Amino acid sequence: MHGFLEGVLDPVREALAQEGRVLVAVSDVNACALTDALGADAGRVRFVDVLEQGRNPARALSLWLEFAHEPALGGDGALGVSELVWPGRSAAELEECERHEALLGLALGDGPAWRLLCAYNRDALGEDVIEAAMSLHPLFADGHARHPPGSHAHTHPSPRPFAGSLPAPHGQVERLAFTGESLGGLRHALSAWAQANGLDQERSSELVLAASELAANSVRYAGGRGMLRYWREDGALVCEVRDAGHIQAPLVGRVRPAPDACEGRGLWLVNQLCDLVQIRSSRAGNVVRVYKRVP
């Protein structure tokens, strides 16, 4: 916690001194520590619980995009503080965090000037996580010392958020081939399975809705059919939809659709409903995997 304050307290105070907007998306523990350190000035900072907003890393980009485009109320020293990568993240979550941060420049590059400070707990995170962070950020700091990233900088290629493959499922896998005519049966089967495997009515309905949206997208945009697989893995229920489509827009599902938009709402909704969403797409087809944690 001391290291967190050492890294973020001065930048936050500087932004407030310039009458700039400040948004801090961190854990409750770090939010409380920063609130205590700021004293009366804490009321001028907007705090967001990152464990809620950022549980699915794909939700985080819209938070910063909307913050960047909020009208300035005073000065121009806007600052964001993000703790999207926290100790205890799964390997799948860490991979999606990395993909999110690779997309930040693409999403925010043409917007207003502001600063985003990403906080990493170097004592509790693996060296591979720190190395990845150093490769994705133009400047890094350890305490009060600021360093250019040197040989670590930009070792990743241009953002390709849907490239690669997903690991094979663990445990017993159920399969359902579907078409437009069988979506009702898919929802019924998935709802019964989710509740039998520990989800309450609300969370079960959210998982079923997410899978149904993905299947409907397959029917609408990917040849009218697809394959649903679902299983339980590491304290979560997992659903995966495969089809013959090809997703190419890198920010789809991460940016809030305009009110009059005809496309993009399905994946946006899926990201809001699920604890983790992984999308892999190539000319061979789409694979979308969603997770809902079992309490």
- Write the CATH number for 195: 3.30.565.10
46-49: strand order across its sheet: 46-49, 22-26, 79-82, 115-118
Check residue 154 and give its pLDDT. Answer: 43
Q: Are residues 145 and 193 in the same domain?
A: no
Check residue 146 and give its pLDDT. Answer: 53
Residue 267 domain-assigned (yes or no): yes
Residue 167 domain-assigned (yes or no): no
Closest Cα to residue 53, out of 235, 258, 288, 272? 272
176 CB neighbour count, 10 Å cutoff: 17
Q: Per the structure, how many domains does the chain have?
A: 2
Q: Are residues 20 and 141 in the same domain?
A: yes
Check residue 140 and give its pLDDT. Answer: 64
Q: Are residues 239 and 282 in the same domain?
A: yes
Q: Are residues 193 and 119 in the same domain?
A: no
Residue 178 domain-assigned (yes or no): yes
Residue 61 domain-assigned (yes or no): yes
Among 93, 117, 152, which residue terminates a domain? 152
Check residue 160 and give its pLDDT. Answer: 82
| Rounded distance between C-alpha atoms, residue 61 and residue 80, angstroms | 12
Residue 165 domain-assigned (yes or no): no
Q: Are residues 130 and 52 in the same domain?
A: yes
Q: Are residues 212 and 148 in the same domain?
A: no
Check residue 155 and give its pLDDT. Answer: 43
Q: Are residues 11 and 105 in the same domain?
A: yes
Check residue 157 and give its pLDDT. Answer: 45
Residue 192 domain-assigned (yes or no): yes
Domain extent, residue 227, equals: 174-293
Digitized pLDDT (tens) for each residue of the chain, 295 residues in all: 568 999 999 999 999 999 999 999 999 999 999 999 999 999 999 999 999 999 999 999 999 999 988 876 655 679 999 999 999 999 999 999 999 988 988 888 777 788 999 999 988 998 898 888 888 777 666 654 455 544 444 444 456 889 999 999 988 999 999 999 999 999 999 999 999 999 999 999 999 999 999 999 999 999 999 999 999 999 999 999 999 999 999 999 999 988 877 777 899 999 999 999 999 999 999 999 999 999 8
Among 152, 186, 218, which residue terminates a domain? 152
Q: Are residues 21 and 67 in the same domain?
A: yes
Check residue 171 and give its pLDDT. Answer: 85
Please report, for the domain that includes residue 87, its CATH number: 3.40.50
Residue 272 domain-assigned (yes or no): yes
Among 152, 187, 222, which residue terminates a domain? 152
Q: Are residues 113 and 66 in the same domain?
A: yes
Q: Are residues 190 and 93 in the same domain?
A: no
Check residue 76 and give its pLDDT. Answer: 65
Q: Are residues 13 and 125 in the same domain?
A: yes
DSSP structural state of residue 283: T
The residues, ordered by sequence, that sit 6+ positions from 212 with a Cβ below 8 Å of its Cβ are 183, 186, 187
| Rounded distance between C-alpha atoms, residue 72 and residue 20, angstroms | 8
Q: Are residues 119 and 6 in the same domain?
A: yes
Residue 162 domain-assigned (yes or no): no
Check residue 133 and give its pLDDT. Answer: 83
Check residue 15 and give its pLDDT. Answer: 94
Check residue 151 and give its pLDDT. Answer: 42
